Amino acid sequence: MNRKSSKSKLVEELKAQAKSLGFSRVGITAVSPSTHINFYQSWIDDGMQGEMGYLAREESVRRRSDIEKTLPGARSVIVVTHDYLTEDLGCSPDDPAMAIVARYARGDDYHDIIKSKLLGLLKWLSQRVPERVEGRAYVDTGPILERDLAQRAGLGWFGKNTMLIDPASGSFFFLGLLLVDLELSLDPPFLDDRCGTCRSCLDACPTGALLGRDSMGAPVMDARRCISYLTIEHRSAIPVEFRSAIGNRIYGCDICQEVCPYNQPAPQTDDPAWQPRDGLDVPRLVDLWRRSDAELRQLIKGTAMTRAKLVGLRRNLAVALGNSGDPESAAALSEPIG
């Protein structure tokens, strides 16, 4: 078997192993400087990152521009997706008494689960080749442009909602990266923009955070107006101008994905890790507000919701209760917490 066919066979086995670990799709791309870094820098220069100062740090920008600054000697990037959409059990944004949590955050923390699976994939790969393999796993935590790499690995295109969209399965999936110092057979990039003239996400965003595409075709989001940013990353008071638009969303927002034609329907998963945990399946605003701080901490322990911290979650609940127009909700705001 020649070297080229040997590499192809290894990649075929690697992808099969990744899927056996629960990953939905796998693509591989080379380590090379990002072609999106100029857009990223322009976005930072315009201040659209809001209070997310870590995105603008000089070292952070430098590392996003070139993966080799993150893992010297890296040769390939294995990019995986993991579907997370589960059945919605009746928690509707149209019911002002309900608390809406973004679908990805209703179950266990994806950072830990996907990283563990990636490290398992790295261990498998290390046992399949004679040389020692150095690798590093990232799941939405390092200074890397994940969606840029996923597009280069053939897994989808950048939608107008800034999400990576796969034409066959939509966008309700997590992304994970495994950087390795091994040269692997590469997948062709996904070059099509299949949004066309569709404006579903732009028109549906209640705060006007989605600004369409810039002159280079890159989708633009003003994070300072995004409900996900406002309820998770924004640490100070939510600006009055956006409070009513948040409605009953207490953590994150799925609107721009829910209206996307490529998610009609999106595949659902029966993976137990992503199933809504008790208390986050059909939560009522009043019930969450009346929990003690200790009870709320216990409820969100081990979920992605810890990102907002308890003070942020209380803030979001107060805004949602104020938006509800429900007498019981209004009365709850004046009650002692816990």
DSSP class of residue 158?
E
3-class state of residue 112 by DSSP: helix
Q: How far apart are CA 138 and CA 125, in angstroms?
A: 17
Angle between helices 37-45 and 58-65 (to 10 degrees): 160
Q: How far apart are CA 149 and CA 189, in angstroms?
A: 9
Catalytic residue among 88, 95, 108, 140: 140
Asked if 143 and 44 count as a contact pair (C-beta separation under 8 A), the reply is: no
At position 289, the amino acid (one-letter code) is W
Active site (annotated) includes residue 140: yes
Asked if 91 and 283 count as a contact pair (C-beta separation under 8 A), the reply is: yes
Transcribe 17-79 into DSSP letters: HHHHTT-SEEEEEE----SSHHHHHHHHHTTTTTT-GGGT-HHHHHHHH-GGGTSTT--EEEE
Look-up: residue for tokens 């944004």? 93
Positions marked catalytic: 140
